[in-house]
Structure 1
Amino acid sequence: MTTVRFADEVVLVTGALGGIGAAIVTAFAEAGTRVAIHHLGQAHEARERVEQLRASGTDAEAFEADITDWAQAERLAGDVYERFGAIDILVNNAGYLESGRITDMDFDQWYRTINVDLNGPFIVSRHVVPLMRRQGHGVVVNMSSQLAFKGAHDYAAYSAAKAGVVGLTRAMARELGPEIRVNAVAPGPINTPLVAPYATPAYIHERTTTLVDQRFGDPEEVASCVVFLASPGASYLHGQVLHPNGGGVMA
């Protein structure tokens, strides 16, 4: 339960139906925002989520788009703005994870990850930021990963993409601030459906043995960082990265 309160701001969360995305949506809804739920190919789940949010008093709507497609991302931004009359907060959360050793992966495997995890945040931001400038304010929170800072066997593409998100965040912060604040969150291992297929005992041990907490985190622990960065309490933060990772990376 968040203690941050917003004054009817509109948040667009990409990848809003996944583990972390769903927690982010819940946290913002509890904090008083209106919520634009982005998804791809999950119309039924999106409708159910919107109905749940509306039943709890949150103004919500679902929007489908491929964030790696320029025209679809442009339409997404325009549709959200038309529906709500504003986009105050953008959370670039949609992600893709696929394992592959650098000496074995082919270009298509490499590009799928780069396209979703790095191109996607740029493309969506490219179409949302002009709308924020029209308003004269806005907040962007990009989702990176601790692997951007430490790397990992079999995740070269993901590590590279998420490191790119950090660089993108800092460049955006310098170009767009102070009217538009841009920061990032770099989670450590989190209990989500995205990592569930890989979460063997060996995988879990490898990723938690060096952590101060020695456990996987919960999506809510990431969502609270995102909400904080979007809040007035983070008004002096530009180009920063928060690290909810149980002490795995201390940067």
Structure 2
Amino acid sequence: MEKTAIVTGASRGIGAAAALALAAQGCRVAVCCRTRRDSAESVAARIRAAGGTAAVFCADVSDEAAVRTMFAQVEQTLGPADILVNNAGVAQQKLFTDITAAEWDAMFGVCVKGAFHCCQAALPHMIRQKWGRIINISSMWGQVGASCEVHYSAAKAALIGFTKALAKEEGPSGITVNCVAPGVVETDMMAVFSPEDKAALAEETPLCRLGAPEDVAAAVAFLASDAGAFFTGQVLAPNGGFVV
């Protein structure tokens, strides 16, 4: 049976790769973004060109009303969400003492509150049908912390705790809730790093390379598939051995 997958932050990077991977598994894909509609439309066009079904939806996931509206639009267009990938996020490097309260709130608003809103919108249907897949995109920094990224690390750590608790609560309803915690992945978020910095990070990684969005998307696709049916409350870490 064809399933509907919602992927937030899907206009580029890991989200785009996850949308393409889920479409390759036969899912109808809601390619969701906040502002980069043109990029999201390009992802949807690639899915349709390969014979799949996709549509673009825009919402600020930190806004509960916007999320509710988006989920209603997805249901009308593609059907209710069977699979939810909470990938929307922001990144910022800053000394802890320079982080403002507004920046802290914005980080948690997208990374944590966004996942909260999307899960609350998706779960009623999943519970009714006794089947669902929720996959939250965290980070290795949510596991071990990163200097000059305290708010980012804290938000991504919160997602891991969120995942483990929700997995216990929703397991009896046939819903799995898992987390993917990528390592250093070559996306637009890496644009602030110089080639020398990227080379140093690759050298620090036991597999001697940076990750690709497709490396993370493979973990998402596995957790969404029948092969991942007995995984819940887990953190899969495609990080090349950077964190072990």
Q: Which residue of the other structure, out of 215, 219, 234, is the alignment partner of 2:213? A: 219
Q: Tell me which residue corresponds to 2:202.
A: 208
Q: Tell me which residue corresponds to 2:189.
A: 194
Residues 155-188 of structure 1: per-residue CA shift (max 9 Å, x gap): 0000000000000000110111141100010000
SS at match of 1:249: coil
Does residue 9 of the first structure (1) align with residue 3 of the second (2)? yes
- 2:208 and 2:141 map into 1 onto residues whose CA distance is 17
Q: Tell me which residue corresponds to 2:143.
A: 149
- 2:207 and 2:103 map into 1 onto residues whose CA distance is 33
Q: Tell me which residue corresponds to 1:243.
A: 237
Deviation at 1:201, TM superposition (A): 4.0
SS at match of 1:37: strand
Q: Tell me which residue corresponds to 1:73.
A: 67
Q: Tell me which residue corresponds to 2:127.
A: 133
Task: Give the letter for the 1:218 counterpart.
Answer: A
Task: Give the letter for the 1:114 counterpart.
Answer: F
Q: Is the 8 A contact 1:86 1:135 kept in 2?
A: no
Task: Give the letter for the 1:242 counterpart.
Answer: L
Deviation at 1:238, TM superposition (A): 1.0
- 1:54 and 1:104 map into 2 onto residues whose CA distance is 45
Q: Tell me which residue corresponds to 2:94.
A: 100
Q: Tell me which residue corresponds to 1:184.
A: 179
Deviation at 1:206, TM superposition (A): 5.0
Q: Is the 8 A contact 1:18 1:194 kept in 2?
A: no
Residues 181-223 of structure 1: per-residue CA shift (max 9 Å, x gap): 0001000000001222x22245325533432112211110100
- 1:210 and 1:47 map into 2 onto residues whose CA distance is 36
Q: What stretches of structure 1 of length at least 5 have no aligned partner?
A: 1-6
Task: Give the letter for the 2:12 counterpart.
Answer: G
Q: Is the 8 A contact 2:12 2:39 kept in 1?
A: no
SS at match of 2:134: strand
Structure 1 pair 69–157 and aligned structure 2 pair: CA distance change class (3 A): same
Task: Give the letter for the 1:181 counterpart.
Answer: T
- 2:98 and 2:199 map into 1 onto residues whose CA distance is 24
Q: Is the 8 A contact 1:39 1:63 kept in 2?
A: yes
Structure 1 pair 84–95 and aligned structure 2 pair: CA distance change class (3 A): same
TM-score of the superposed pair, with normalisation by structure 2: 0.94
RMSD of equivalent CA atoms: 1.4
Q: How many residues align?
A: 243
Q: What stretches of structure 2 of length at least 5 have no aligned partner?
A: none
Q: Which residue of the other structure, out of 158, 161, 169, is the alignment partner of 2:163? A: 169
- 1:50 and 1:149 map into 2 onto residues whose CA distance is 32
Q: Tell me which residue corresponds to 1:3.
A: none
- 2:123 and 2:197 map into 1 onto residues whose CA distance is 38
Residues 83-110 of structure 1: per-residue CA shift (max 9 Å, x gap): 2223110000111001111112111122
Structure 1 pair 211–43 and aligned structure 2 pair: CA distance change class (3 A): closer
Q: Is the 8 A contact 2:5 2:84 kept in 1?
A: yes
Residues 4-42 of structure 1: per-residue CA shift (max 9 Å, x gap): xxx421111000112111111111111111111101122
